[in-house]
Chains A and B, each alone.
Chain A
């Protein structure tokens, strides 16, 4: 575990998108609750996995952290410096330190520019290199990410998906950032190529001392890279946990369901498994369910779940989960649970109690 001051500290971050209607005067008719009171910290050299299904707000969270979206409220501190409210110019030096890798290697590279230009642009725009020095640096980067430097003058369409993702990684590395936010960097790639990219990101982390926020829509890929994992559902963090603990003992029912939904590539292991198949779809973030947002799909939900928003409860295992009916915890863990100091402001102080535990809904 990393020590010292956190590199990045996000607290009570909120991002709502208004839905407007009207011809002359824009009336705000509804609000998309994309990110609703999310707090997280990231230490130097650490990788935080951020997991959730489409529409849970994980991509919005990333973009709000780097101030591509202006937060509705809350704070983002980078090396102790508040980013919310900074002007474009003031953000410029920080953008050097925080880079992004995007999901779609086809859409995130300009098809009319040569690979060398794409990778060299950050260096050029920040005035760090030019001419032959720029070319040399770009070719070193290409070599480092497993591209052939002599392909400097080719266009993105001449490369396969996996190679394009390497171009995106080289571009993100160009400014020697401290933090890279990778938004589903392998979701669009074939399985055999996914492993290559994950191993590359792993090596680069060791070599450059990078910190990552690694976003994914299932728990499979983040396992290899993450030190800690945060699970999001409908704009909220429902569980955060040291990575290995999450896979052994998920506490929040949604984490249990996410884990259970990933098929195991082993027919015999599957035969004995009773997967928890969630019913229904993720509700709309325009009108999220009250109190615990997962209660409409949760097999263990009781009355309290629709009336009282559970706080983020911290357990001795280093895990924290926002649930009235936590799974995989013993009575002692429940009795020793405390409300996390960054629990959402709208949540109550009602910690789970042993008597409220209900048996698993029979399926």
Chain B
């Protein structure tokens, strides 16, 4: 759908992931296509259940299980990672594409020393003498900013703080010099001052090594600091994509407006009342027909019962696409609330409760 300029490093085409559960089929990812260019930071933003993590895990082949059905393709270096054998994936994971997860407390093995866990990863893929691998792990820990790396390499994970554990996870992800790093909510479990440190680190690695990064987060603030391009996901689908500036200064989808509006901005005087999106994300067991944001969207009209495609709707757009039937001209007026971008503010007495819908 989007014209590609440079040859993308990774390209995902119409990815669909469904899980069979006790309650029925959950369509976690529904037709996601994306491209990651070399040296780029691609931000994927969305709330819990929007399918952003499942998309990333599927790229790495981590969602394969008897109850999962996966279709579409993930092209990387001429290989299709969706149909690749587990063996082929092994040689790609860590070496070519690495992943950092949200919770650094549970992603490290508590009974092995931090250094040994990095050594293990190096030895699994490279034929290196042990002391060489050990030296490499010290270097790696130092490069991600662990003080006294030569000593701390022999610590157990519990001796590291949360921020240090996340640094160690990043060091491990970089051990084999991959070309792509997928960071899935890398700072969500961390304090704000530590979050700032980790984001600065990821940005530095991107600049110094040309590492391409897929950054998954629910925080548009983090995206604004580092991303080059942004995908906004809602209920398993991409609802808007574009460059950083396009998404922040000319957002086209009402869900994106709502996300922007519900953020508190510390650099501006606060609005009287926080703009809020009524209701809650739909259950993916039975998503609404048509536009998936329709039940929560204050601007929905008849046409919205039909699912809009992810298309470039602005005159002269190149790469800025969205799933919304509203006329681009009308959107400009609709999205402004109190002089800023946000959904219309619900006033007291409006049926906020009723709009919540059924419990999931």
- Once bound together, how far apart are the Cα atoms of A223 and B219, in whole Å? 17
Task: Say yes or no: B273 contacts A202, CB within 8 Å.
Answer: yes
Stretch in A92-100, A120-128, A253-261, A353-361 touching the partner: A253-261
The answer to whether B332 has its CB under 8 Å from any CB of chain A is: no
Contact digits for A245-288, partner B, Cβ 8 Å, 1 yes 0 no? 00100000000011111111111111000010111111000000
- Contacting A at CB under 8 A, from B303-360, are 346, 348, 352-354, 356, 359-360
A195 contacts across to B, CB distance below 8 A: 261-262, 274-277
Q: How far is the CB of A200 from chain B (nearest CB, A)?
A: 8
Task: Say yes or no: B244 contacts A262, CB within 8 Å.
Answer: no
Q: How far is the CB of B294 from chain A (nearest CB, A)?
A: 15
Contact digits for A202-221, partner B, Cβ 8 Å, 1 yes 0 no? 11000000000000011111
- Once bound together, how far apart are the Cα atoms of A133 and B258, in whole Å? 40
**Interface size, chain B (Cβ < 8 Å):** 54
Task: Say yes or no: B263 contacts A191, CB within 8 Å.
Answer: yes
The answer to whether B24 has its CB under 8 Å from any CB of chain A is: no
Task: Say yes or no: A220 contacts B266, CB within 8 Å.
Answer: yes
Task: Say yes or no: B164 contacts A267, CB within 8 Å.
Answer: no
Task: Say yes or no: B220 contacts A163, CB within 8 Å.
Answer: no
Stretch in B6-14, B80-88, B191-199 touching the partner: B191-199
Which among B275, B346, B360 has the highest number of chain A CB atoms within 10 Å?
A: B360
The answer to whether A362 has its CB under 8 Å from any CB of chain B is: no
- Contacting A at CB under 8 A, from B257-277, are 258-267, 270, 273-277
Assess A261 versus B264: contact at CB under 8 Å? Given A151-B359, A158-B359, A267-B224.
no
A162 contacts across to B, CB distance below 8 A: 280
Which among A163, A217, A265, A277 has the highest number of chain B CB atoms within 10 Å?
A: A265
In this complex, the interface size class of chain A, counting residues with CB under 8 Å from chain B, is 35 or more
Residue of B nearest to A53 (CB): B191
- Report which of B192, B265, B278, B346 forms a contact with A218, defined as CB distance below 8 A: B192
Q: How far is the CB of A50 from chain B (nearest CB, A)?
A: 15
Q: Can you name 16 extra interface pairs (CB under 8 A) apart from A163-B359, A264-B224?
A: A146-B352, A146-B353, A151-B359, A161-B48, A163-B356, A192-B258, A193-B280, A203-B348, A219-B266, A257-B193, A262-B221, A263-B219, A265-B263, A267-B244, A277-B196, A281-B194
Interface pairs A-B: 10 shortest CB-CB: A263-B221, A146-B353, A195-B276, A53-B191, A195-B262, A190-B47, A192-B277, A261-B192, A195-B274, A261-B196
